[in-house]
Structure 1
Amino acid sequence: MLAILAAAAVAAPADLTWMAGSWTHEQDGIVTRETWLPPLGGAMSGAGQTNRPGKPARSEFMTITAEPAGLTFTAHVQGQAPTPFVAIPSDPGSAVFENLTHDFPQRVIYRRCGQNLCAGIEGVVAGKPRAEHWTYVRASAPE
């Protein structure tokens, strides 16, 4: 019974429409951008790019799909095998994905922050908690 209740508390891709759009975060000269397509056919696709001054841009591709294990966020980072994170129950307006066997991060978090999109990664590195968080603002349309 608890498993059924937990599964019911996890959103489907269609419930994550608030993530759709292009988002940007700028801090200390570092520009991070994410773009999420609206849900379609039980899936969402996203792309992220981080630009640090004097370094090559870092890009990744992400998906959120309904899998047998549950709603799954999969990160496709260049040079690494795809890494799945399965949704765990979270508050409305939030999506928390977890993979406790991954080195870092072990959790990927998205939540609504008013008009903004808050995101974060969390976990443990060398026995110490580590977290990175971003507050994205909606990007203006390209000119």
Structure 2
Amino acid sequence: MHRIIIILAATCLLYSCNSKTNEPSKLDKMAWILGYWEMVSPEGKVTESWIRTNDSVYSGIGKYTDTAGQTLTTEEISIVLRGDKLLYIPLVSNQNDGQPVIFSEVDFSNTMVVFENINHEFPQRIVYVKQGDGKMLAYIEGEMNGEPARLEYPYTKH
């Protein structure tokens, strides 16, 4: 009888460990961000291209190009899974003395993620929202010059 209890306990322990490891990570749950995204406006084009670098990192490149085709801003971005939290780490050309800025996840669902750094000049929040097949809204918001500000990027996947 003692042996059966030990075997039963070991089986339960193994089963509970196994089911936990099969649960998708937050990074897995936001795989919808992977790929090439584009927003075209009268002022130019904004693009983001995302790939999975490894099990804990998505790497992205963001570009703003004017109507003449000249790239005005380039941004290297990483979304990193640390423990159970995601970090959004952009490195923008000609900003922040060439240093990356770290935004921490403050809200997460299967269709939305909110990153925040209240000490950053602007933006303080970066948000990605899956809006359906091939559509995503990204926006940055916070305080700029003492006033609330928000810039939206309605992307289409290509």
- Using the size of structure 2 for normalisation, the TM-score is 0.75
Q: Which has the higher Rg, Structure 1 or Structure 2? A: 2
Higher relative contact order (CA 8 A, sep 6+): 1
1:97 to 2:112 alignment: no
Within 1, Cα distance between the matches of 2:115 and 2:125?
Answer: 6
Count of paired positions:
129
Aligned to 2:90: 75
Unpaired stretches in structure 1, ≥5 consecutive residues: 1-10
Aligned to 2:78: 63
TM-superposed deviation, 1:56: 4.1
Within 2, Cα distance between the matches of 1:136 and 1:62?
Answer: 17
* Range with greater deviation from structure 2 (34-43 or 23-32): 34-43
TM-superposed deviation, 1:14: 1.5
Q: Percent identity?
A: 25
Unpaired stretches in structure 2, ≥5 consecutive residues: 1-24
The structure with the greater share of residues assigned to helix is 2
Supply the RMSD in Å over aligned alpha carbons.
1.9
Cα 1:17–1:69 shift into 2, 3 Å: closer
Q: Contact (CA 8 Å) 2:29, 2:110: kept in 1 or not?
A: no
SS of 1:83's partner is coil
- Using the size of structure 1 for normalisation, the TM-score is 0.82
